[in-house]
Amino acid sequence: MITDTTMTALLSDLSGLQQRQRVTADNIANINTVNAPGEGAFQQRMIVAEAARYGSGQGGVRVAGTTLGSDEGRLVYEPEHEFADANGYVRYPDIDLGDQMTQLLMAQRGYQANLATIERATNAYQSALQLGKG
What's the pLDDT score for residue 84?
Answer: 95
Q: Structurally, how many domains does the chain consist of? A: 1
pLDDT-derived band of residue 122, with 50, 70 and 90 as boundaries? confident
Tens of pLDDT along 60-91?
778 889 999 999 999 999 999 999 999 999 99
pTM as predicted: 0.80
Helices and strands, counts by H and E, the chain:
2, 4
Distance between the two ends of the chain, CA-based, in angstroms?
20
Domain extent for 54: 4-133
Q: What is the mean pLDDT of the chain?
A: 88
Identify which of 63, 62, 58 has the alpha carbon closest to the alpha carbon of residue 6.
Answer: 58
**pLDDT above 80 for 54:** no
pLDDT-derived band of residue 99, with 50, 70 and 90 as boundaries? very high
